[in-house]
Chain A
């Protein structure tokens, strides 16, 4: 089995999906001959032609609107938004159309589209290139929001997203596009979209995370193990709809929970998980639920971005505090 980076796994899944289903088309800015600014679509236009791998004009609203129209006609469009900071012109199409087309037509039309976009900071990119606003997308009924944190899950979850009959926003952790490497077999097997992944078993505390910061969360868990704390690490992977059972089962077992996400704290998706635990897991809690998140500030420019993104020491400190709470 070849070892691939996360971005290569995405490319592999796209190629696989296009190979197995002629209805799959890829569209976005620079996705053609250039292969995308991160090279996610490299080689696809050469292999599948310019009619199925479309270099669109520089218009994000258009990309999302085209996807809705194509999907209603039975194509399976995979749109690329170059950076998450540029996804906002698509919100109208996602909220008012993609997510509700099936419901408002009572099943007469549907919208099997995927909108991919890089997510998060840490690559020393210019302003507006490092956002993590997944919570606002996860708030939209009718949508699926998926975020892999490893090459294997990127491959399997992207295949699942493309095959899914409903609209999916697929958020890709930019910071680990090339840093994350793993064995990926091109077997065409999708991973389920409604399952969280338990990456590490532990009985002392539950760490819940998603996206690039899963890396720091795992590193923190390894460090904590050296201090005698066995953390269970969950990669939520699908934020909408998310796997409540896996979260609750783990918290029931450990009694302590730390949620780690890169996005700003207030109204972040961690708040939803904390509310779930308060509603349905309160009696198992031995300590208050803690959150390690980005700050309630604008995502800073690169000189300070590492201070914004949750670090291993911050996660370790918060987890120790949760474990020491009596």
Chain B
């Protein structure tokens, strides 16, 4: 150890926010918005819809009607808690697992299916036109989020960039470089690390020796906070506070949401190869939907009848979206040259013509 006679020049702390225990009992006084039961019901509906949609997407993939798909099973509280705290004019920079966040912000289910079904038009989202599409190279959207936030600050617009990534992304320089710059310029950006404990097969303890991911913000000069990512009230409260602070010019924040990836990494993965099923079973006891349901039931705000009605409603909505997705036809081959540049350089006209004339076949 260092000489104890030397002065301490800095001390830091990381706090953890949670309101509901896994069984739905209340741990501490709830934030104000939680007294608004319709609001909680909307969050509940968002999580249920996300899960039902995700599971349906997996079955589509299994039957050859969808490409590889990243399920967010068990992480629905992060999706809904974050998205519901954002405004339309804010900008979302999602990772490939943030299906529920996109749904909440207005992307249609058939658009998500279209993208993972192999068609760029899926990114013509009905959500806010300024939102970014799914980011697939892990963490690489983080410096972009800082760029978006810089534009807001330069133009003095009260808007916030919200960037979601996983625990694996925090090992990349991209995330650090972005947070570092956001700290220097006190940018209106909120970073959300969805710590689901696994980066495909690599567990958190092989990812980092850092006690928390939240503390990585401290080195960048701003607050990092942990929330129970299975507690949608906690996620929503943390997101509201961070977004409000960023919007008011108070600078960035990092939210580490503690979750668990109950599914395989994607439909192309088999998690049984690298993690014990007992671990997954244990973690199922903490999942976010049952937790909020238990609380709502305890408040007499929810019951079996409503549950069945909601499930049926979600199924209907999803089935209709799947029908629209499956009815869409592939785009014409030459359109792969569309939107390559604002205006297609004349050099590529002959290649485009090759595709449209079928002379390549």
Contact = CB atoms under 8 A, between A and B. Distances in A.
A72 B143 contact: no
Contacts of B147: 65-73, 77
Given A56-B181, A72-B144, A93-B140, A105 B133 contact: yes
Nearest to B93: A69
A62 B137 contact: no
A204 to B, nearest CB: 27
A52 B341 CA distance: 26
A61 B174 contact: yes
A104 to B, nearest CB: 6
Contacts of A77: 147
B143 A69 contact: yes
B197 interface: no
Nearest to B125: A108
Interface in A61-87: 61-62, 64-75, 77
A25 B154 contact: yes
B347 A65 contact: no
Contacts of B145: 69
B342 A106 contact: no
B338 A194 contact: no
Interface in B126-149: 129-130, 132-133, 136-137, 140, 142-149
Contact of A105 (B123, B174, B178): B123
B154 A57 contact: no
Contacts of A67: 147
Contact of A62 (B93, B125, B148, B177): B177
A66 B342 contact: no
B5 interface: no
Q: Looking at chain B, what size class is its interface with the partner chain?
A: 35 or more
Given A104-B123, A194-B346, A74 B129 contact: no
Contacts of B312: none
Interface string A96-115: 11000011111111100000
Contact of A107 (B150, B151, B339): B339
Interface in B280-309: none
Contacts of B184: 57
B269 interface: no
B121 to A, nearest CB: 6
Contacts of B345: 194, 241
B302 to A, nearest CB: 38
Interface string A130-170: 00000000000110100000000000000000001110000
B132 A72 contact: yes
A189 interface: no
A72 B92 CA distance: 12
A108 B146 contact: no
A65 B146 contact: yes
Nearest to A166: B341
B180 interface: yes
A83 to B, nearest CB: 19
Nearest to B174: A61
A108 B347 contact: no
Interface string B76-102: 000000000000000101000000000
A67 B93 CA distance: 15
Given A52-B154, A69-B144, A103-B339, A242 B347 contact: yes
B148 A92 contact: no
Given A75-B154, A241-B348, 12 more contacts: A59-B181, A62-B180, A64-B143, A68-B143, A69-B149, A77-B147, A97-B137, A105-B339, A106-B123, A109-B130, A109-B133, A241-B347
Interface of A: 25, 51-52, 54, 56-57, 59, 61-62, 64-75, 77, 89, 92-93, 96-97, 102-110, 141-142, 144, 164-166, 194, 241-244
27 contacts: A57-B181, A59-B177, A59-B181, A62-B180, A65-B146, A65-B178, A66-B147, A68-B144, A70-B147, A72-B148, A73-B152, A92-B140, A92-B174, A93-B143, A96-B140, A97-B144, A102-B342, A104-B133, A105-B124, A105-B133, A106-B338, A108-B124, A109-B130, A142-B341, A144-B341, A165-B341, A241-B345
List the 10 shortest-distance A-B pairs measured between CB atoms, nearest first. Answer: A69-B147, A65-B143, A69-B144, A73-B151, A62-B177, A66-B147, A165-B342, A241-B345, A70-B147, A69-B148
